[in-house]
Amino acid sequence: MSSDARGVRHRVRRHPERGHYDVDSIDAILDEALVCHLGVVIRGEPWVLPTIHARVGDQVYVHGAVAAASLKAMASPAVCCLTVTLVDGLVLARSAFNHSLNYRSVVVRGFGTLVSDPVEKLMALKALVEHVAPGRWEDARPPSPLELRATQMVRLPLAGAIAKMRTGPVKDDVEDLGWPHWAGVLPLQVTAGAVEPDSQMANPTAPTPEYLANYVRARR
């Protein structure tokens, strides 16, 4: 597949140099972001809800309770919008006007489809668990038939997805370079804290899994 194989329906207009349309850039951001925001219209009103997502190939999956109104609206089918955002740094310019963030984001618009095939549903559930903690699926009890029935899974194609990124130093106007105060970038990243083992673990001496001991949101 070529790097631009999903097609481009829209282009970034503000700062067009920050727009990226290739599969690798879009997938890397979707895979690193822990959560997305899902925008849907329910009974004529807009709603934006945070939820976990997982990308598998050219699709992104979201899941929830069978009764979840946001997922029902997404799979009605109706046009919906899914976004992810990674904040990489604070950009502290000399002028207030040129303050910014370094970021990577993706916007996907399209029509969601309910996943009815149980094999695909299970595959997507595994992808969701692995998206949060790669390696975790093997350590988790598999879903029961009842749990599978109680779960609504929706897929959204990545056709036309757009990435936008700001990277690099402050960009001040030349006439502001004499300003005497500090200017620059404060990089930010997600870091894991110390694990908190559950007090009811059947095996209280079970070692902390490797995938938690070295947990990072992998950047590629």
Return residues touching ligand FAD (CB under 6 A).
Answer: 35, 47, 49-52, 63-65, 68-70
Minimum distance from residue 191 beta carbon to ligand FAD (Å): 17
Between 45 and 210, name the residue whose CB sits nearer to ligand FAD: 45
3-state secondary structure of 147: helix
Q: CA distances (Å), 178 to each of 97, 98, 168, in order? A: 16, 15, 20
Minimum distance from residue 90 beta carbon to ligand FAD (Å): 22
Which of 197, 56, 180, 174 is closest to 121 using CA atoms?
56
Minimum distance from residue 65 beta carbon to ligand FAD (Å): 6
Between 47 and 179, name the residue whose CB sits nearer to ligand FAD: 47
Minimum distance from residue 104 beta carbon to ligand FAD (Å): 18
Contacts with 163 (C-beta within 8 Å, 6 or more apart), sequence order = 19, 20, 21, 25, 26, 29, 104, 105, 106
Are the CB atoms for 157 and 58 separated by under 8 Å? yes
Between 33 and 165, name the residue whose CB sits nearer to ligand FAD: 33
Between 20 and 63, name the residue whose CB sits nearer to ligand FAD: 63
Minimum distance from residue 49 beta carbon to ligand FAD (Å): 4
Between 25 and 151, name the residue whose CB sits nearer to ligand FAD: 151
Across 59-94, b (16+ Cβ under 10 Å) vs e yields bbbbbbeeebebbbbbbeeeebbbbbbbebbebbbb
Are the CB atoms for 48 and 38 separated by under 8 Å? yes
